[in-house]
Amino acid sequence: MLKARFRARASFFLLAWAILAQGRSPLAQARSSVEKPPALYDTRLLNGFAVEPGEGIAPPVWVKSLEPERVAGIMLIAEALSWQAVPYRLGGESREGVDCSGFVRAVLNLTLPSKGPFPRTSEGFALLGTRQSLIEPGDILVFAEAGKIFHVGIALSENSFIHAASDGPRKGVIISGLHESYWSQRLSGIRKIEY
């Protein structure tokens, strides 16, 4: 049952990324007065993804026809999503348990090894890449309170991110929304890593 629920959730997120692979997100298109409304997308684009809990996600054959930057972004998000439900462990950097910066570092090391080495602290991620004003999938989100950086995650969309939570009702690698006041009030930086 748990495996089937994980596959359904993973399929949902992979479908979202398949849509992004074909162009801008439907939300972004709807906000633009110049573009046409979003078209229906072929769900067969998900054929070939291998998704197993606790394992990485292998790309399907169709990914090879995309630009390298887009493939890297899709693989970054897919790898991050494959870490869902990994427990929180202070100082951890493996699927046995991770903290927030360990999670982001592990995902980046697995998907973008040539761009490393990557920082091990949230403060280090605040200096990585280039500063952005708009959130795009794959960006690094940095959170601070009273001027002190305390948390880091990976953007899944302009209003959701995946991270390793240490406190609250849900712990471990989870997806949260920037519509939640706790996170929206503490977002202090958006960093882009060039793929």
- Which active-site residues does the annotation give? 100, 151, 163
Backbone angles phi, psi at 68, to 5 degrees: -55, -35
Q: Which two tokens stand for residue 53?
A: 């809990």
Neighbours of 171 (CB within 10 A): 13
Contacts of 51 (CB under 8 A, 6+ apart): 6, 7, 10, 11, 14, 57, 82
- CA dihedral defined by 29, 32, 35, 36, rounded to 10 degrees? 60
